[in-house]
């Protein structure tokens, strides 16, 4: 199944047989104090820089989030969307926990965006799915619901199945739902990574839809986070993941994903791998 | 299923739920001209150094191979076995394409060795399996036969199944057969890595026996071989591999395997990972 996303001038396909698509995660003030302070003041220079640098480093899509306490998030997110679309042709992933902000970001967006995100919570399904349908977008569906994040892969699959079914009730094509199995820190929960890997496999085999995850959470609290993230990314690729929310400026992760494409037979004649080792990585 | 190997004083278990066991690959003159020349002259200093360095870097077992053209391989392999066993307590993997050399190496070995290897070729099965039984060893079974290396995972599984059945005919426990799905260069064959990953999964699900592979072949002819090898190792771990033939002195592979253990929940409290990042890696 293929999830097709677009800006005004560029189309990106997520799906098996394609390279794993990197959704650049940097344009997000959560945990980035300096960026949050600048964005709150309306200074979007760092947003612009991050957009360009991530695309240069291989991001196929860019996540944009403007969630800052005490800030008019809907207005700011629209502004960020407009700015980033003026700078790059990468399709965007409109990211907010606030439904009004999603609505505002989608209103400002030109093309077919990916909405980040819906989950299996009743309120969220009813608030987000109509927006997705209205704007002809695709949506990330998180494998959690009103009871929280299920412990087992089978239960996460069940939540994914319900999100898909509810999306179809709203007239949304299953190809436009991308499931995120939800990555928890392995330092706190030794089975966290295995659960994600098994959920990825089940979603692919049972539902056939595309999958995405934010990998970096897996290494929270442990040393050498880039090393753990890179190994985990390769493992998700082996289990059929089709997109990742990651920082392509983190060299070791970027290389692990490129290696994953080679090893899954999705880098024709290994040209991307060979090219990546010919030219120096851009300084950022 | 558990494969138990031993030296005189140490037992190593290969199997699910345990860390992936590294079989150190360095004591092998193939492609190492200086080592081959020294070994041919009876100078085993580098063999001794390699043995100690690999164990220090995390090898649980050591592969020993003495295949040098125009050299009395049976006599040399026995000498290498005796030397390495005098230096370390790691169980050994006795490696030769020459049956007489396997016999000689096993004759010199004290403990329960892993024989590298048998395959599905009729002559080889009939020559090697009686030796394995006689010495109470375990054996690596390569997924190839008189028709060569099968293209599909299903056919490699079929060869593995036949090797297991023939081993049982000789009174060898299935737990003492470790299947190698055979890694070919991905640069020549884009599906090479995927075929291995799928074979690993099939062998585990259908036969339940342990698996091993030599990963480094996957990157033959491509740039940044350590980077590709490391990603591939993580992928094999995600697919349930229980041992790898690798060079633990290759830092990026060693770290990828340690990360794999963390992510599969096989590094209790992440202690090996944390420890590996506390002390500097030994100079070699």
Of A190, A235, A273, the CB nearest to B235: A235
Say yes or no to pLDDT of A282 above 90: no
pLDDT grade, residue A12 (50/70/90)? very high
H or E element, residue B154? helix B153-169
Domain of residue B144 covers 3-275
**What pLDDT is recorded for position B284?**
61
Say yes or no to pLDDT of B148 above 80: yes
Total domains in the fold of chain A: 1
Helix axes A73-87 and A99-108, enclosed angle (nearest 10): 30
Please tell me which residue of chain B has the smallest CA distance to A191.
B265
Please tell me which residue of chain B has the smallest CA distance to A188.
B269
Is the Cβ pair A277, B224 closer than 8 Å? yes
Say yes or no to pLDDT of B282 above 70: no
Of A224, A268, A274, the CB nearest to B277: A224
User: Is A244 within the bounds of a domain?
Assistant: yes
**What pLDDT is recorded for position A41?**
95
pLDDT grade, residue A280 (50/70/90)? low
Please indicate if any CB of chain B lies within 8 Å of the CB of A183.
no
For chain B, percent of residues with pLDDT exceeding 90? 96
Q: What is the ipTM of this complex?
A: 0.92
Say yes or no to pLDDT of A152 above 80: yes
Question: In this predicted model, what pLDDT tens digit does every residue of A213-264 receive, in sequence order?
Answer: 998 899 999 999 999 999 999 999 999 999 999 999 999 999 999 999 999 9
**What pLDDT is recorded for position B279?**
66
Residues of A in Cβ contact (< 8 Å) with B181: none
Instruction: Name the nearest CA neighbour of B120 among B153, B84, B92, B146.
Output: B146
**What pLDDT is recorded for position A215?**
87
**What pLDDT is recorded for position A278?**
87
Instruction: Give chain A's mean pLDDT.
Output: 96
Question: In this predicted model, what pLDDT tens digit does every residue of B96-142 receive, in sequence order?
Answer: 999 999 999 999 999 999 999 999 999 999 999 999 999 999 999 99
User: Is A179 within the bounds of a domain?
Assistant: yes
Question: In this predicted model, what pLDDT tens digit does every residue of B214-248 receive, in sequence order?
Answer: 988 999 999 999 999 999 999 999 999 999 999 99
**What pLDDT is recorded for position A261?**
97
For chain A, percent of residues with pLDDT exceeding 70? 98
Instruction: Give chain B's mean pLDDT.
Output: 96
Instruction: Name the nearest CA neighbour of A104 among A59, A47, A45, A64.
Output: A64
Distance CA A109, CA A95 (A): 12
User: Is A167 within the bounds of a domain?
Assistant: yes
User: Is A230 within the bounds of a domain?
Assistant: yes
Q: What is the mean pLDDT of residues B164-189?
A: 97
**What pLDDT is recorded for position B283?**
64
- CATH number, residue A10: 3.20.20.20
Q: Min CA distance, B103 vs chain A (Å)? A: 37
User: Is A87 within the bounds of a domain?
Assistant: yes
User: Is A284 within the bounds of a domain?
Assistant: no
Distance CA B102, CA A95 (A): 61
Please indicate if any CB of chain A lies within 8 Å of the CB of B224.
yes
Peptide bond before residue B282 is cis, with ω within 30 degrees of 0 = no
| Count of CB atoms situated within 10 Å of the CB of B43 | 11
- Any bridge partners for residue B244, and if so which? B22, B213
Looking at chain B from residue 160 to 179, which residues have their Cβ under 8 Å from any Cβ of chain A? none
Per-residue b or e along B89-128, where b marks 16 or more CB atoms closer than 10 Å to that residue's CB: ebbbbbbbeebebbbbbbebbebbbbbbbbbbbeebbebb
Please tell me which residue of chain B has the smallest CA distance to A224.
B277
User: Is B281 within the bounds of a domain?
Assistant: no
Is the Cβ pair A255, B227 closer than 8 Å? yes
User: Is B282 within the bounds of a domain?
Assistant: no
Please indicate if any CB of chain A lies within 8 Å of the CB of B13.
no
């Amino acid at each position: 199944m293929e999830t097709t996303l677009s800006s005004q001038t560029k189309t990106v396909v997520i799906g098996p047989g394609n390279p794993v698509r990197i959704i650049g995660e940097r344009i997000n003030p959560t945990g980035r104090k300096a960026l949050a302070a600048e964005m709150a003041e309306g200074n979007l220079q760092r947003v612009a820089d991050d957009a360009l640098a991530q695309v240069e480093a291989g991001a196929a899509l860019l996540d944009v989030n403007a969630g800052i306490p005490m800030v008019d998030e809907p207005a700011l997110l629209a502004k960020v969307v407009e700015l980033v679309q003026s700078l790059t042709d990468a399709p965007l992933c409109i990211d907010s926990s606030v439904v009004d902000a999603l609505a505002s970001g989608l209103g400002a967006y030109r093309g077919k965006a990916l909405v980040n995100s819906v989950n299996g919570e009743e309120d969220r399904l009813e608030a987000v799915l109509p927006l997705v349908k209205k704007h002809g977008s695709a949506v990330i569906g998180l494998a959690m619901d009103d009871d929280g994040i299920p412990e087992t892969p089978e239960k996460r699959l069940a939540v994914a199945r319900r999100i898909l079914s509810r999306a179809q009730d709203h007239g949304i094509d299953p190809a436009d739902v991308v499931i995120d199995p939800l990555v928890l820190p392995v330092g706190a929960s030794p089975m966290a990574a295995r659960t994600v890997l098994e959920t990825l496999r089940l979603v692919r085999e049972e539902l056939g839809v595309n999958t995405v995850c934010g990998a970096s959470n897996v290494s929270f609290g442990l040393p050498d986070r880039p090393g753990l993230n890179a190994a985990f990314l390769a493992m998700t690729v082996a289990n059929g993941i089709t997109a990742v929310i990651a920082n392509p400026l983190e060299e070791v992760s970027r290389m692990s994903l490129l290696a994953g494409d080679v090893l899954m037979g999705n880098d024709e004649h290994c040209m991307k791998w060979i090219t990546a080792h010919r030219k120096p990585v851009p300084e950022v």
